[in-house]
Amino acid sequence: MKIVKNNTASIVFVSDTGVSVPASGTYTIPSQDYLLWAASDNIVTYIGNSTVTINDGTSDLSINNGTDLILGNFPSQIKIQGNTTNTNIGNVGDALKTSTNITGGSITATLKFSDIQKNVEFNITAKAETDITGTSYTVTTGKTFYVTSFMSSSDSPSPVSFRLKVYNGATLINSVKINVAGNGATCGFSWENGIIFAQAGYTIKVTAEPQAAKGSGWVMFSGFEV
Amino acid sequence: MRNKVSATPVARAVPFDNSTNGFVSTNTQGAIEEIKTSAIISASPGFSFGRSGVTGTGTYLQCETVPSNVSGRWVYVYNAVINAVFIANELTTTFTIEVLYHDGNGTGLTSVGTVTVTAAKGGDFPVSWSVPHDKQLSIRIATTSANSAKNIVCGLQLSGTSTP
């Protein structure tokens, strides 16, 4: 919106637009006339000597910004107003406001470091698929778990299958499988920004299914919650 | 037996009554010649003006998006007379428009006359305003208008002659 406010007690005639702005009154420029006003030399003069002020529908603009608005240039300053206090943001000490003020400089977002990690060494004692003790993690209430890595290795002389599993109670929701050749081989995946893996209340754990009950293994997964 | 007498009519010899129609000639030949220089342009195209949005007092209507005080409708006929003003407005209101002529870019603005729409969305108004040749016509909401107009369209009907 582009509004011309007459700051004087006399009619201001902007001759090259043909418009008379009432004394101490306003004139709202129709959008189809924006180009006409953008080409006006008279209005630039009137803004410059403060005969008129330009209002963008929210607030009065400075001479420079008012001139820019009339000429169709982008304003050099973008003002953001709070929904409740209508205070402008743009000065030192101003803050974006949501439910609370952000004062510490840390903003919680999807992009964050992985602060959940399970890292376990274990002995292979059975040939069947077995839950690896110490790898279970239950997703916090109200959160979603993003997995960022899943890796494993084994010095068993035979291959070992490792699975990263998600359960909702007793129901298997998802499973990621890695086959490790054994004899010190390592295998794994990583996702830098994380992938959505488990919902609140779900349980994550790792299992090992060796082809021989010999040697030991190592398994690790990491992630974060949002 | 009597001979039949015939004669070729001569228009100039036929009287013409100019007492009520504005013609100068008193014979048919002259009257027809007057028509040649006037009647063919007496019903001029309507000179149209308009302005979108609220148009306050003192604000000029536009011609083809150009303010009419900057560039108006050129008076190309001689002995020009504005015969009618017709106006359409979005709102039912009372307002006055003023017709002016000038030399271009607002120089020498001279008022020709005003018409007032009274509590209506427009109307047509017979007038008889002489305007000089080679001037530019413009229209504005009169500075004395009781109200603004909104999305107004206005036209002028002009008559004149093709020769001075």
User: A81 and A158: one domain?
Assistant: no
- Tokens representing B134 are 């080679």
A20 found inside a domain: yes
Q: Report the complex ipTM.
A: 0.71
| B51, B152 contact by CB (below 8 A) | yes
Residues in A closer than 8 angstroms to B106, CB to CB, are: 15
Tell me the residues of chain B between 75 and 104 that have a Cβ less than 8 Å away from chain A.
Answer: none
Nearest to B56 among A16, A22, A32 (CB): A22
User: A149 and A64: one domain?
Assistant: no
User: A210 and A130: one domain?
Assistant: yes
Report CB contact under 8 Å: B60, A18. Answer: yes
A162 found inside a domain: yes
User: A60 and A149: one domain?
Assistant: no
Determine the residue of chain A that is closest to B55 in CA distance.
A19
Judge whether B59 is closer than 8 Å to chain A, CB to CB: yes
Q: What pLDDT is stored for residue B144 in this prediction?
A: 96
Q: What pLDDT is stored for residue A105 in this prediction?
A: 62
Alpha carbon distance B54, B35 (integer Å): 43
- The number of folded domains in chain A is 2
User: A211 and A136: one domain?
Assistant: yes
User: A121 and A221: one domain?
Assistant: yes
Residues in B closer than 8 angstroms to A28, CB to CB, are: 53-54
Report CB contact under 8 Å: B52, A36. Answer: no
Tell me the residues of chain A between 19 and 48 that have a Cβ less than 8 Å away from chain B.
Answer: 19-22, 25, 27-30, 32-33, 36
Nearest to B58 among A11, A16, A30 (CB): A11
Q: What pLDDT is stored for residue B163 in this prediction?
A: 81
Residues in A closer than 8 angstroms to B52, CB to CB, are: 30, 32-33
- Tokens representing B132 are 């000089």
Q: What pLDDT is stored for residue A23 in this prediction?
A: 95
> Band of the pLDDT at B40, cuts 50, 70, 90?
very low
Nearest to A18 among B54, B59, B143 (CB): B59
Q: What is the pLDDT of residues B80-128, one digit of tens each?
A: 999 999 999 999 999 999 999 999 999 999 999 999 999 999 999 999 9
A96 found inside a domain: no
Range of the domain at A12: 3-89
| Chain A interface, best mutation among B54, B57, B60, by max A CB count within 10 A | B60
Judge whether B62 is closer than 8 Å to chain A, CB to CB: yes
Q: What pLDDT is stored for residue B63 in this prediction?
A: 93
Strands (E), chain A: 3-6, 12-14, 19-21, 26-28, 52-55, 80-81, 88-89, 116-123, 130-131, 137-138, 145-154, 160-168, 171-180, 185-198, 203-210, 216-225
User: A75 and A133: one domain?
Assistant: no
Q: What is the pLDDT of residues A84-98, one digit of tens each?
A: 555 666 566 666 555
What's the distance, CA B30 to chain centroid? 25
Determine the residue of chain A that is closest to B62 in CA distance.
A18
- All structural domains of chain B with their residue ranges: 13-42, 43-161
Q: What residues have CB less than 8 Å from A167, skipping those under 6 apart?
A: A173, A202, A203, A204, A205
- Among all chains, which residue has been given the structure tokens 């299958």? A161
Report CB contact under 8 Å: A22, B57. Answer: yes
For A55, what's the count of Cα atoms within 13 Å in the CB-facing half-sphere?
14
User: A70 and A140: one domain?
Assistant: no
Q: What is the pLDDT of residues A134-185, one digit of tens each?
A: 999 999 999 999 999 999 999 999 999 999 999 999 999 999 999 999 888 9
A58 found inside a domain: yes
- Among all chains, which residue has been given the structure tokens 């997703």? A139
Residues in A closer than 8 angstroms to B67, CB to CB, are: 15-19, 36
Q: Give Cα separations from A211 to A25, A117, A134, A152, B101 (angstroms).
A: 89, 27, 22, 16, 104
Find the CATH number of the domain harbouring A200: 2.60.120.40
Is pTM beyond 0.80? Reply is no
User: A165 and A213: one domain?
Assistant: yes
Residue range B53-75: mean pLDDT, rounded: 94
CATH code 2.60.120 for B43-161: yes
- Tokens representing A78 are 């973008």
**CA dihedral sign, ordered A42, B58, B85, B134:** negative
A102 found inside a domain: no
Pairing mode of beta strands A88-89, A80-81: antiparallel
pLDDT < 50 stretches in chain A: none
Residues in A closer than 8 angstroms to B62, CB to CB, are: 18
Chain A closest-CA separation from residue B70 CA (Å): 6
